[in-house]
Structure 1
Amino acid sequence: MGKILGGSIVVVAIVAGVFLYYQQIYAYYEPVKATGTDDVQMTSLVSGAPEPVLYDNFEAIDAESSPIRYRACFTTTMSHAMLSETYELYDGAEPLVAPGWFDCFDAVDVGTALEEGRALAFLGQKNIQYGIDRIVAVTEDGRGYVWHQINDCGEVVFDGEPAPENCPEPPEGY
């Protein structure tokens, strides 16, 4: 009787583990339908507002379960010089890991390129959702990557502290 009970517990644990793995890696992600005109935006130095940039080969995924699950890849013909003279650079960009099946986005490679100066990070949109910024990184060869990252205001408010003076007031429920 003990072997049957122990074996049942092991089988249930394995099935639950496989189910949880599937839920985290595959179940919640959906492909993002490209509009072809404004899928990639960066914040202009002049206007302070997000503006569409030139891009091709856009591919993205997102999930409603978390505001930081957005990942996208694209290519652009815009040079680093043109981008840095036109759009707001972003300090502290840290690419977040994408699911392994989303082949175009490798957070380690993007992070290394940012550290080595082979890629530049730009503010796509500040507070795309309260406390979350959209970051756009572009490598020297025109490969681009987009992800959502918790900003300074979000880090404080999400930890249960009141918003600092330099942050907008959080919406109800935060």
Structure 2
Amino acid sequence: MGKIAVLLILGTALAMGAGLWFAQTRGYYAAIEGPVTLTLETGSGLFTLPATEVQAIASNSSPLGFRACFTHDLDGVALAYMASGLPIPDAAPTIAPPWFDCFDAEAIGAQIADGTARAFIAYKNAGYGVDRIVALTLDGRGFAWHELNECGEKAYDGTAIGEECPDRATFEPLTEGQL
């Protein structure tokens, strides 16, 4: 009788572990079908990035679950022009699920740190309190992810958000391909 109880406990633990692993790495993520909004905020408004070979995923449980990889044909002059937009030298890409292998957060972060990639605000408040960030490299690769902005940090830690944050009751998040 004791062996059966041990086997049932071990079987349950394995099933729960497998379910937890699936939920964290696969269950909450889905590939984005259709157009992905890849823009760049500049002093004169939004600039649509000439992105090709776009691969993107999003989480249905959090606005921070967005990741994208793409290629672009912008040259160094165009990238320098865009640098007058809103560069983010301390951008911190977040880890993607292991199966989304085009997005290596550590490598992207290292490229931003050493200057071989530049990160920019692509779209403010893509989700409430979350900005879409784009990192562009000189060799034609690009990456996008979401990061909490100041409003998001305040809203999610319980601090009063203030007037500079959008009204949560009327806020409408970015819908992919709407621009």
TM above 0.5, yes or no, is yes
Residue matched to 2:68: 72
* SS of aligned partner of 1:68: helix
Equivalent pairs: percent with the same residue?
38
What whole-Å deviation, never above 9, does each CA across 1:4-39 have from its counterpart, x for those lacking one? Answer: 21221111011110011011111222111233xx63
Aligned partner of 2:176 in structure 1 is none
Residues in 2 aligned to 1:64 and 1:91: alpha-carbon distance in whole angstroms: 29
The answer on whether the counterparts of 2:89 and 2:113 sit within 8 Å (CA) in structure 1 is no
Query: Given the alignment of the two structures, is residue 129 of structure 1 paired with residue 124 of structure 2, yes or no?
Result: no
Q: Which residue of 2 aligns with 1:12?
A: 12
* Shift in Å, 1:167: 3.2
Unaligned runs of 5+ in 1: none
Cα distance per residue 1:83-114 (max 9 Å; x no partner) = 34234212431101111111111101100000
Segments of 4+ moved more than 4 angstroms: none
CA contact (8 A) 1:126 1:132 kept: yes
Give 2:42's match in structure 1, choosing from 30, 41, 44. 44
**Match status 1:62 vs 2:58:** yes
Q: Are residues 1:105 and 2:85 paired?
A: no
What is the SS of the residue equivalent to 2:120?
A: strand
Aligned counterpart, 1:25: 25
Q: Within the alignment, does 1:82 sit opposite 2:69 as a pair? A: no
CA distance in 2, matches of 1:51, 1:67: 22
1:163/1:170 contact within 8 Å kept:
no
Superposition TM-score, scaled by structure 2 size: 0.85
> Aligned-pair distance for 1:152?
1.6
- TM-score normalised according to structure 1 size: 0.88
CA RMSD of aligned residues (A): 1.8
Unaligned residue ranges in structure 2 (runs of 5+): 171-179
Secondary structure of residue in 1 paired with 2:161: coil
Query: Deviations along 1:135-169, whole A, 9 cap, x unmatched?
Result: 00011211100001111211111012210454344
Residue 115 of structure 2 aligns with which residue?
117
Write the distance in 1 (CA, Å) between the matches of 2:132 and 2:90.
13
Native 8 Å contact 1:163 1:169 kept in 2: no
CA distance in structure 1 between the aligned counterparts of 2:26 and 2:119, rounded to whole angstroms: 28
8 Å CA contact retained: 1:132, 1:149 = yes
Q: Using the TM superposition, give the Cα deviation of residue 75 of structure 1 relative to its aligned residue in structure 2, in angstroms.
A: 0.7
